[in-house]
Amino acid sequence: MSRLVRFGVSLEEKLLTAFDQHITRKGYQNRSEAIRDLIRNQLVGEEWGGNKETVGTITLVYDHHQSDVLQQLTHHQHEYGKQIISNLHVHLDHDHCLEVIVVRGRSSALIDLANLLIKTKGVKHGQLTMTTTGKAVR
């Protein structure tokens, strides 16, 4: 483990109060834990913007009765086969399915794949969530 370093932060009182309320809602033990998470989140966000290798999920909700939706989604996923690690398919009700696709690759390719899947006719909602491979996070 790295050596811990103490440093001070100056904030407006209202901002500190709001931050302390955030800490309480999230269940952090102290401000240091919350600040570490904020810094990590910022650094992970830079991984996405830098088109570095990243991992994530693409979550889709769609009407499987919609003409060709399954065929189109499968076709798009085959086009990006190198980026897809796994997927989970859940029948939500008689008409709707949830699909969670685990992806890995350059952030630009994952964004392209997500956009392609989300705009497919019959997809009611879609979202890409990217995170880090963990290599750059300390």
Q: What is the mean pLDDT of residues 5-25?
A: 90
Residue closest to 129 by CA, chosen among 39, 64, 33, 41: 41
At position 15, the amino acid (one-letter code) is L
pTM over 0.85, yes/no = no
Please tell me which residue, 40 or 88, carries the higher pLDDT value: 88
Contact 132, 49 (CB under 8 A): no
C-alpha distances out from residue 97 to 5, 46, 90, 101, Å:
49, 33, 6, 13
What b/e readout covers 50-72, taking b as 16+ CB neighbours within 10 angstroms?
Answer: eeeebbbbbbbebebeeeebbeb
Instruction: State the pLDDT at residue 36.
Output: 87
DSSP code for 32: H
**54-58, 71-75, 82-86, 128-132: which range is least confident on average?**
128-132
